[in-house]
Amino acid sequence: MIVFRPSLATGLVFGLALVSACEPPRTGVGEGSGTPEGVERDAVAAVFDGRAGAWVDLTHPFGPGTIYWPTDTVGFRLDTLVYGPTEGGWFYASYAFATAEHGGTHLDAPIHFAHGRRTTDRIPLRSLIGPAAVIDVTTRAHPDYVITIDDLSAWEAAHGPLPAGGIVLLRTGWGSRWADRTAYLGTDLVGPEAVPELHFPGLSAEAARWLVEERDVVAVGIDTPSIDYGQSANFAAHVTLFSSEIVGSENVAGLEQLPEAGAYVVALPMKIEGGSGGPLRIVAFVPDGL
């Protein structure tokens, strides 16, 4: 069994940092609830029972409308194996699904763009769970916008340094285009000829290098099809981040539900042995008062 124990450096949602966000512990909640240990247990419990805040889903569902990279022309498949009443008298449903690793809301493992780096199944939980920093560039994003060091520094000017062990979420507003594939990708073409026609925002190579060299973040997510902007020819942001074992997530949904600072993210992919990524269920906890 792998047990995740959050460190003080990550300031994770399940730690004592949330005690001040919780209402006073209820009397009689658990054995010893009046003791320091009981207060700590109650503070953690309050994260899950709705007293300390709210959980929000940042995941697009997988289905016929799921958007994939243009070179993947198969998309998501869900085949019915069994659906209906059985001879024993009970209802039973079972399906088989097929998907590329890098479509819909998904995780990029470092090996996706960096030889010898971690595969999906070897990513530690500390790289998938942590405090969120939402970099909101929606008011200035355009189809070829690149997020710069200045954008990251502006966040820090308002909120302080990016949290150690943090997850940077890049909010461009492109999530609102999800229902329109052409608007989301910038082209209605499919196949290799579509790639040069892609237009959507992403992270600049310089900003990626700054995150690696100047800050201690564990993951970067974005509400577009790629961490690199659509017109990138060398995927430099991917290469820079992944070479340093910083994981990525793409097509993240609902970032407008999060404050710029103070939320916590849990981003757990399908644990594919030897994989370069995989479908991702990403959620966030927003403490009360944010």
Catalytic residues: 112
Q: Which residue has the tokens 């992403």?
A: 202
DSSP 3-state assignment of 132? strand
Check if the beta carbon of residue 220 is closer than 8 Å to that of residue 265.
no
DSSP 3-state assignment of 107? strand
Give the pair of three-digit tokens for residue 207: 């900003």
Three-state SS string over 162-175 comes to: CCCCEEEEEECCHH
Give the pair of three-digit tokens for residue 269: 């992919």
What's the rounded Cα separation, in Å, for the pair 140 and 150? 13
Check if the beta carbon of residue 240 is closer than 8 Å to that of residue 215.
no
* 205-214 vs 149-159: helix crossing angle, rounded to 10: 50
Kind of pairing, strands 202-203 and 91-98? unpaired
What's the rounded Cα separation, in Å, for the pair 33 and 40? 8
Q: Which residue has the tokens 């799921």?
A: 66
Check if the beta carbon of residue 152 is closer than 8 Å to that of residue 207.
yes
What's the rounded Cα separation, in Å, for the pair 146 and 227? 10
Element spanning 269, H or E: strand 261-269
Check if the beta carbon of residue 219 is closer than 8 Å to that of residue 164.
no
Kind of pairing, strands 277-287 and 53-57? antiparallel
